[in-house]
Chain A
Amino acid sequence: MPKRANSFPEEVLEYVFSFIQTDQDRSSISTVCKSWYEIERWCRRRIFIGNCYAVSPRMLIRRFPDVRSIELKGKPHFADFNLVPEGWGGYVYPWIAAMASAYPWLEEIKLKRMVVTDETLELIAKSFKNMKLLVLSSCEGFSTDGLAAIAANCRNLRELDLHESDVEDLSGHWLSHFPDTYTSLVSLNIACLGSELSFSALERLVARCPNLRSLRLNRSVPLDRLANLLRLAPRLTDLGTGAYSAEWRPDVFAILSRAISGCKELKSLSGFWDVVPSYLPAIYSICPGLTSLNLSYATIQSPALVKLVSQCPNLQRLWVLDYIEDVGLDALAESCKDLRELRVFPSDPFVVEPNVSLTEQGLISVSEGCPKLHSVLYFCRQMSNDALITIARNQPNFTCFRLCIIEPKIPDYLTLQPFDVGFGAIVENCKNLRRLSVSGLLTDQAFDYIGTYGKKLEMLSIAFAGDSDLGLHHILSGCDNLRKLEIRDCPFGDKALLANAAKLETMRSLWMSSCSVSYGACKLLGQRLPRLNVEVIDERGHPESRPENSPVEKLYIYRSVAGPRFDMPGFVWTMDEDSALRVT
Chain B
Amino acid sequence: MGRKAAAHSSSSSIDSSNHPDHHLPSPTASSSSSSLSRKINGNYCNSLSITRTDLSTDLRLGLSISTSHHSDLSSTSTPREQALINWPPIKSILRSTLAGRAADNRRHPSLFVKVYLEGIPIGRKLNLFDHDGYSALISSLCLMFKTTILCPENNHVHSDKYHVLTYEDQEGDWMLVGDVPWEIFLTTVKRLKITRADRC
Contact = CB atoms under 8 A, between A and B. Distances in A.
Question: Chain B: interface secondary structure?
Answer: loop
A433 interface: no
Contacts of A80: 89, 91-92
B12 A550 contact: yes
B83 A406 contact: no
Given A348-B98, A491-B19, A463 B122 contact: no
Interface string A118-141: 000000000000000000001011
Given A348-B102, A489-B20, A514-B23, A85 B47 contact: no
A2 interface: no
Which of A81, A348, A491, A541 has the largest count of B CB atoms less than 10 A from its CB?
A: A81
Interface string A264-300: 0000000001000000000000000000000011010
A551 B86 contact: no
A463 B20 CA distance: 10
A535 B42 CA distance: 36
B154 interface: no
A311 to B, nearest CB: 26
A349 B88 contact: yes
A86 B29 contact: yes
Given A86-B125, A346-B88, A539-B28, A546 B83 contact: no
Contacts of A141: 121-122
B40 interface: no
Size band of the B side of the interface? 35 or more
A87 B122 contact: yes
B23 A404 contact: no
Contact of A82 (B26, B28, B83): B28
Contacts of A379: 88, 90
B73 interface: no
Contacts of A348: 98, 102
A350 B97 contact: no
Contacts of A81: 86-87, 89-92
Given A86-B122, A296-B94, A349-B88, A550 B16 contact: yes
B29 A540 contact: no
A550 B62 contact: no
Interface string B23-46: 101111111000000000000000
B67 interface: no
Interface in B88-119: 88-94, 97-98, 101-102, 107-108, 114
Contact of B97 (A297, A406, A514): A297
B164 interface: no
A345 B94 contact: yes
B61 interface: yes
B140 to A, nearest CB: 12
Interface string A543-584: 000110011010000000000000000110000000000000
Contacts of B62: 350
B97 A87 contact: no
Given A347-B98, A490-B20, A551-B15, A514 B83 contact: yes
A217 interface: no
B199 interface: no
Contacts of A514: 20, 23, 25, 83
A493 to B, nearest CB: 8
Contacts of A553: 26
A463 B16 contact: no
Query: What are the nearest 3 A-B pairs in CB distance?
Result: A86-B29, A539-B26, A82-B31
8 contacts: A80-B89, A80-B92, A86-B30, A164-B91, A546-B15, A547-B12, A551-B15, A551-B18
